[in-house]
Structure 1
Amino acid sequence: MILWLTVVQIIVAVAAGAFCLVAGLVGRRPSDFSVGALALVELLLVVQVVVAIVAPLAGNPPTGDLLEFWVYLVSAVLLPIGAVLWALMERSRWSTVILGVAALAIGVMLWRMQVIWTIQVA
């Protein structure tokens, strides 16, 4: 993994999560802005998948458990998809809150993936 890319992803995920949480708690239903914020998080996760495939080939292998890393990454990629589907099926203020919680969870998962990739020794 690339540290600066991970930091950018975490910042975007936390910002999207905070935005969606505040919007949901204020009473706003899912909109193009809240769903778009999760779409941006998803796009960055797809970039992370590509980086995770290319990085070991370029001489940057993970030091931790590769299976654990990929489980985190695949789960993180699926999380915004599920949250957005939920938000589109049940258009209430709580769906926007769910979008925010999903984005914040992805931020935590990204940091854990960075730790698995760089700090742990298998």
Structure 2
Amino acid sequence: MIGWFAIVQVVVATVVGIAAIAAGLAGRRPGDVTVGGMALVLLLLIAQVVIAVVAPLVGNAPAGSPIEFWAYLIGALLIPPLAVFWALVERSRWSTVIMGIAALSVAVMVWRMNVIWTTPAL
């Protein structure tokens, strides 16, 4: 895992999450900005999958549990598309808030993945 890329992912997911929650609480339904933000979060997660596959091959193996890391990564990959699907099916202001909460959840999961990758298992 690349440290600066993890920080970029956390910042982007946090900004998308806060923007979506604010839009939802302002009464806005899912739109291009909120759904596009979730698409960006998903795109960064897909890039993280590529990094997680290539990094051990070039000498940057995880210090912690690889199984725990991959469980977090696969879980995080499922959150954005499911949140967008829910938002597009329901199309209410609360589904926009749910997308925001989903983005914030991804931010926390990416930070945890970074900790798992860089901290040796006990």
Deviation of the 1:87 alpha carbon: 0.3
Describe how 1:56-75 pairs up with structure 2 within 5 A.
56-75=56-75
Per-residue deviation, 1:120:
2.9
Matching residue's letter, 1:97: V
Where do 4+ consecutive residues of structure 1 move more than 6 Å? none
- RMSD (Å) for aligned C-alpha atoms: 0.7
Q: TM-score, normalised on structure 2?
A: 0.98
Q: Which runs of 5+ in 1 are unaligned?
A: none
Alignment of 1:119 with 2:113, yes or no, is no
The answer on 1:28 being equivalent to 2:41 is no
Q: Distance in 1 between matches of 2:65 and 2:27?
A: 42
| Number of residue equivalences | 122
Unpaired runs of 5+ residues, structure 2, are none
Residue type of the partner of 1:46?
I
Give the alignment's TM-score, normalised by structure 1: 0.98
Q: Percent identity?
A: 58
What do residues 1-36 of structure 1 show as CA deviations (whole Å, max 9, x unaligned)?
A: 000000000000000000000000110000011000
Q: How many Å separate the matches in 2 of 1:104 and 1:53?
A: 24
